[in-house]
Amino acid sequence: MKVGIVGYGAYIPRYRIRVEDVARVWGHDAESIKSGLGILEKSVPSLDEDTATLAVEAARNALKRAKDVKPSEIGAVYVGSESHPYAVKPTAATVAEALGIVPNTTAADLEFACKAATAGIQACMGLVKGGYIKYGMSVGADTAQSAPGDALEYTASAGAAAYIIGGENLVAEIEDTFSYTQDVPDFWRREGAPYPRHGGRFTGEPAYFEHVIKASKGLMEKLGTNVSDYRYAVFHMPNGKFPLRAAKILGFTTEQVQPSLVVEKIGNTYSGSSLLGLAAVLDIAKAGERILLTSYGSGAGSDSFSIRVTDLIEERRNLAPSVRYYIERKEYIDYALYARSKCLYRG
């Protein structure tokens, strides 16, 4: 039995702040940050947007593309995020309610830094293949937090991507998945702390690269594939530089990675990041093309997927807004408005 993506949906809030506007406030050199991080601007949620609202918007877009799927047929809803609005009360139940998936469904919130939603996709794959559910949904959504003045303030942004997983009417088949997980203290937020902390340069070699490279290699070894079998490669995008370097280490060309690099214009959407990259690729990919997707979550782990696009993509992708539409739909705000929104939406 095949398993794969029946529908996908993206959502990115309308507001943006430029690197220059953040750098000016803290006396940083904007040009060196832009070239160092590979980021020009990032998305900022409205005052009335949070992880639950972003997740619902993306999930509604996914349902539009999965036009044969009735909400009542979705037997599992997972929302991966590190900025769930409640410490206790599931975002997934809000998403299920807003889409009319309730009440005969299971739902849960997942947390694994930026990769919780790819873990959700794996859970859905298992439930679908095991015959327990017909369809499952996994949403990655975040309104990422960053301490004022911290390097993360240039990248931590907001966005969401939703995937409906099933066994028929696939726009893309998931051929296999492989994961790589270890306990690594590269990035964390303690209970009750408003902002995360990170290990600076330590977030690179032993964390991001170790896991992204090993998971991607593990998947290709398992399947007997190599980089030339994939038309596209999608990696988690904490900044604009890391995914390109990971691609180079693995032997992928810049051309294979470039179409998924949404980070330059919207920042790191955390749980939405690699899945928005995949959505951007599904927006343009042709039937038969293969995609390698590898997420990364601090703490640390990566889930890698081998995906093959089907004929159905052509008629389905235009049923909901593309990632490009959301990237281009924007309005700039300055740091004062940004600070007001950050301050207020934390309460």
Partner 1 sequence: MSHIAPPAHWRRAKERYRLLGSKCESCGSTFFPPTKVCPKCRRKGKIVQTEFSGKGKIYSYTIIHSAPKMFEKYTPYILALVELEEGPKVMSQIVDCKPEEVKIGLNVEVCFRKLFEQDEEGVISYGFKFRPADDSWKGL
C-alpha count within 13 angstroms, C-beta hemisphere, residue 294: 32
Query: How many CB atoms are located within 10 Å of the residue 205 CB?
Result: 10
Burial of 302 (0-12, 13-18, 19+ CB in 10 A): buried
Query: Is residue 56 involved in binding partner 1 (CB under 8 A)?
Result: yes
Query: Is residue 182 involved in binding partner 1 (CB under 8 A)?
Result: no
- Residue number, 261 or 280, with CB nearest to partner 1: 280
Query: Is residue 322 involved in binding partner 1 (CB under 8 A)?
Result: yes
Given 19, 21, 41, 50, the residue binding partner 1 (CB under 8 A) = 50
Given the residues 41, 57, 82, 210, select the one marked as catalytic. 82
Does residue 211 carry a catalytic annotation?
A: no
Q: What is the dihedral of CA 69, 77, 238, 8, to 10 degrees?
A: 0
**x/- track of binding to partner 1 for residues 69-98 (CB under 8 A):** ----------------xx-------x--xx
Residue 168 amino acid letter: E
Query: Is residue 344 involved in binding partner 1 (CB under 8 A)?
Result: yes
H helical segments located in 106-162: 116-129
Omega before 103 cis (within 30°)?
yes
- Residue number, 3 or 323, with CB nearest to partner 1: 323
Q: How far is the CB of 34 from partner 1 (least distance, A)?
A: 26
Cα–Cα distance list, 31 to 28, 34, 40, 84, 153 (Å):
9, 5, 9, 33, 15
Inter-residue contact 268 to 156 (CB < 8 Å) = yes
Given the residues 84, 114, 153, 198, select the one marked as catalytic. 114
Does residue 289 carry a catalytic annotation?
A: no
Given 2, 28, 60, 189, the residue binding partner 1 (CB under 8 A) = 60
- Residue number, 35 or 46, with CB nearest to partner 1: 46
Does residue 236 carry a catalytic annotation?
A: yes
Enter the tokens of residue 73. 């047929």
**x/- track of binding to partner 1 for residues 126-165 (CB under 8 A):** ----------------------------------------
H helical segments located in 45-182: 51-65, 91-98, 116-129
Q: Which residues bind partner 1 (CB under 8 A)?
A: 14, 46-50, 52-53, 56-57, 60, 85-86, 94, 97-100, 318, 320-322, 324-325, 328-329, 344, 347
Q: Which residues are catalytic?
A: 82, 114, 236
